[in-house]
Amino acid sequence: MINCLFFSVVFFLFMSFSFGGMNYSSIHRTFLNMHRSILEVCVVTVGNDGEDIKPYFNEPILEKYIVNYLKDNVSKYTTDYQASIVYFDNNTKDINTNHHADGVRISLNAKINTFYHYKHAREFTINQRGHIE
């Protein structure tokens, strides 16, 4: 009886480590492979009057695309995750509050199981030609 209980506990721990590690690497790969085109479609380069302006991120659309990407891809591996998006000025690295930011930092925190917790961030900036770097 004790052998069966011991085997069950060892098996549970082994499976938690195995599947947790696989899910961790899958979430990491999914987050790092987030394609720049998701952000490029959110770059505004022309003002309301039709003239060229300094490129910036359209924040509501960017947030919608990022949330949908994470929901479609990360939720396969865990349902307990949070994403945060912070906009900043690329030149000064200060947080931007005027809704014309040319830099964005996307952070992802995910609890996979008792043993694994994923935490990573990526930064993207817009160059003068409107391309993501």
The residue range of the domain holding 46 is: 22-125
Q: What is the pLDDT of residue 61?
A: 94
Residue 93 has pLDDT above 60, yes or no: yes
pLDDT band at 97, cuts 50/70/90?
confident
Closest C-alpha to 48, from 58, 62, 37: 58
Q: Specify the pLDDT at position 72.
A: 92
Domain count, the chain: 1
Has residue 132 been placed in a domain? no
Question: Is residue 91 a part of any domain in this protein?
Answer: yes
Closest to 107 in 3D by CA, of 126, 124, 91: 124
Confidence of residue 90 (pLDDT cuts 50, 70, 90): confident
**Does residue 87 register a pLDDT over 90?**
yes
> What is the CATH classification number for the domain harbouring 66?
3.30.1300
Nearest by Cα to 125 from 110, 105, 109, 107: 105
> 3-state class of 122 per DSSP?
strand
